[in-house]
Structure 1
Amino acid sequence: MLIIGLDPSLTCTGWGIVAKSGNRLTHIANGQVKTDAAMALPDRLVTLDRELTDVILRYRPDTSAVEEVFVNKNPQSTLKLGQARGVCLLTLARAGLPVAEYATRLIKKAVVGTGAAEKAQVQAMLKVLLPGVKLAGADAADALAVAITHAHMVR
């Protein structure tokens, strides 16, 4: 089973794909979709959709998972994150993929063992769980953690 995990953001959405076979996980790919802040919001959302669609068509995952929105102190940032997350959900649903959603604390707990883990701890565990993985960046690492969480949750 191929699982795609997404860490939504308007600036840089991370994606990661793992294969699950029994209890074994294998890294397939990871990357980031960056949008230009100088572009109009609708154009940035179209870029996000187009690039995620390309990833889905290239790797053909069987299922998907997305990190849930957390509320920022800045309402504008929360709104932009919600819009990017909506595009992620739409792109996955349009591709016919089942979509699961996980809270940040649950993702950290599933990967590291504690919901209060730091990003560095998550990235270190990714290298243990997926030997030889080369991370495309912090957002891609978070997306792989989402995919791994889903792999642990799905039966």
Structure 2
Amino acid sequence: FDDIVDNPEIVKRAESVTRYYDEFIAKCHLYSLLGEGEHILNDETVTVNMHELKRLMYLTVASVNVLEAVRFYVSFACSFAFAERAIMEGNAKVIKLIARDEALHLAGTQHMLNLMAQGQDDPEMAAIAESCKEEVKNIFMQAAEQEKEWASYLFKDGSM
């Protein structure tokens, strides 16, 4: 397992998954440490405001939604393929439970995104959701493309 952190295919997937978390967490830290306003950090002006934090939160939840909707399933297919061949059946049973859990997470994040888009808790979130539509679509498209690339990588030597 030592090469997992060195495998470029795995690293690429991990970076695309964590990008929105990282941006949101970094901006939250700045908000906690410095408050709202324009701040100079490392000779660079950084703007911290609640609107941007809300936007990053929305994109992070959308990224989690994509993670639950699209990611993992190529890898799950490998475990299910082993089970079909009566190999590692216990592993496939565990993966089946994990897949069910992912479906619950998907429903939860979808519900959150819908509430935000409707502006029920915060009217500003409806405008943010509308302004992020294209970026969210791109997140989904990139994830789908990366899953195709991941499948090609996993099956480069043939089928299971």
Give the TM-score category using the shorter length: under 0.3
In proportion to residue count, which structure has more helix?
2
* Higher-RCO chain (CA-CA 8 Å, sequence separation at least 6): 1
In proportion to residue count, which structure has more strand?
1
TM-score (norm 1): 0.25
TM-score (norm 2): 0.25
